[in-house]
Amino acid sequence: MTRFGVIGIDHGHIHDHVKGLLRAGAEFVGYCPRSSVPALVEQFAATYPDAPRIEREALLADDSIDIICTAAIPRDRAGIGIAAMRAGKDVITDKPGVTTFEQLEAVRQAVAETGRMFSICFTERHCVRSAVKAGKLVAEGAIGRVIQTMGVGPHRLGSGRPDWFWEHDAFGGIIVDIASHQIDQFLFYTGSDRAEMVASQVGNFANEQAPGFEDFGDLLLRSDKASGYIRVDWFTPDGLPSWGDGRLTILGTEGYIELRKYIDIAGREGKDHLFLVNGSGVQYIDCSGEELDYFRQFLSDVENRTETAMTQDHVYEVCRLSLEAQTKAARISQGG
């Protein structure tokens, strides 16, 4: 049985990793309790009361562990992943997997030298059932050839954020931190191996107390197959009964798909709503029962040294585009 451990409980996405791997049949060995968010560790311990607390050095030294998962502070994820790969383990990291070009190059080198996998779990695709269903519909030709995606990732700022949340070098900027989700989706749904960043911009409109923070960002992408528009922000109102109204529209030559991932405003209850419009008419699909494939596929990849869950080149391209869009972004507001 494939065994895994956790190093880095600084974001709630770590629950998706553990839950997904357990459902896929892996064994949870234990976790390192070091964290910048003690409340997350307490919640994690309550969720997995039988999982032992093990220091990260011991987890890395344990040759029986095949996979290390991390949702550490973003700037620390690449380092943890590299240490794990050099210890003979494959890696699942929360997005963003890297926050600098230097980290990306170091990850590339470690993968090449160790033969291990550095996979980023893009939860807004891999852990969203409507997104999984959309991928299957696209593959079946339900909307013809995909020529554009429009993805938005609004988030609620909330309260009680750790200090690093406001530090630009810690989270990498709003495009690196959040829009990597939508960049991943653009490449995946359009079938693009590579793309170019056409234009990008970021702003800090409402958080002048933290000048290094960014609460808005958008960008345009273009490949030899399609174009894409992405917007991310921290302006979800408190009145919305969800952390964000994440949506994705996939335009094809013979129809389109719209995903209302987390809420259908003033509409149907629950989440994972998919609307398909093509020559056959308009169809609503409840995707709440759709199987999530990523973790099962990743375990198969670990065993067979394949790339069915996600290719390593795809990971690199998402990271490259995110970093380029972030570093070249025009600043359209600085507080106030």
Give the side-chain half-sphere CA count within 13 A for 16: 23
**Adjacency order of strands within the sheet including 146-154:** 281-286, 273-278, 255-260, 247-252, 146-154, 227-233, 216-222, 196-204, 330-334
What is the model's pLDDT at position 335? 52
CATH class of 3-121: alpha beta
Q: CATH 3.30.360.10: does it fit domain 125-292+324-334?
A: yes
Residue ranges of domains in the chain: 3-121, 125-292+324-334
* pLDDT band of 246, cuts 50, 70, 90: very high
Question: Tens of pLDDT along 64-119?
Answer: 999 999 999 999 999 999 999 999 999 999 999 999 999 999 999 999 999 999 99
Tens digit of each residue's pLDDT (9 = 90 or more) over 192-225: 999 999 999 999 999 999 999 999 999 999 999 9
| Amino acid 336: pLDDT | 46
Q: Which residues are 259's β-sheet partners?
A: 248, 274
More confident residue, 260 or 159: 260
The pLDDT tens digits for 33-64 are 999 999 999 999 999 999 999 999 999 999 99
CB atoms within 10 A of CB 3: 16
Question: What's the whole-number mean pLDDT along residues 296-322?
Answer: 98
For 163-200, how does the pLDDT look when each residue is reduced to its tens digit (9 = 90+)? 999 999 999 999 999 999 999 999 999 999 999 999 99
Chain-wide mean pLDDT for the chain? 97
Global confidence as pTM: 0.97
Q: Would you state the pLDDT for residue 334?
A: 64
Average confidence (pLDDT) over 265-286: 96
